[in-house]
Amino acid sequence: MAKASGPTQRIAWTAEEEVEFAALFSVAWALKGTDACRAAIETIEQWNDDPLWRRAQLVVAHRAAERAEIERLVRLLRATDPATIGRKVAA
């Protein structure tokens, strides 16, 4: 987790969060002067309201992706195991 910074002890943004914010801001900026701009600004406010929840969601998503990758690699190993090639193996 990023270290707290500044006098208010706010949590510093991660590199991923900086990219997310830049994307959200650019969308809001592009919508400036349109009816959709307010919704874009509200999305930024909601995104910023709960950084701990946002990070928890990111950790869960990363774990799910890691699990899926491990399962894929295990299937690959089973499929290419010389002892089982040509025989049907339950996955």
Summarised one tens digit per residue, pLDDT across range 31-64 is 999 999 999 999 999 998 888 888 898 889 999 9
| Cβ 9 vs Cβ 32: under 8 Å | no
The H-or-E segment that residue 39 falls in is helix 37-49
* pTM greater than the 0.85 cutoff: no
Looking at residue 27, what is its pLDDT? 96
| Rg for the chain, CA atoms, rounded | 22
Question: In which band, very low, low, confident or very high, does the pLDDT at 88 lie, cut at 50, 70 and 90?
Answer: low
What's the CA gap between 38 and 17, in Å, rounded?
21
Closest to 62 measured CA to CA, from 21, 16, 8, 3: 16
Looking at residue 75, what is its pLDDT? 94
Say if residue 21's pLDDT is above 60: yes
What's the CA gap between 32 and 26, in Å, rounded?
10
Average pLDDT, the chain: 85
When pLDDT is averaged across residues 78-87 and rounded to a whole number, the result is: 82
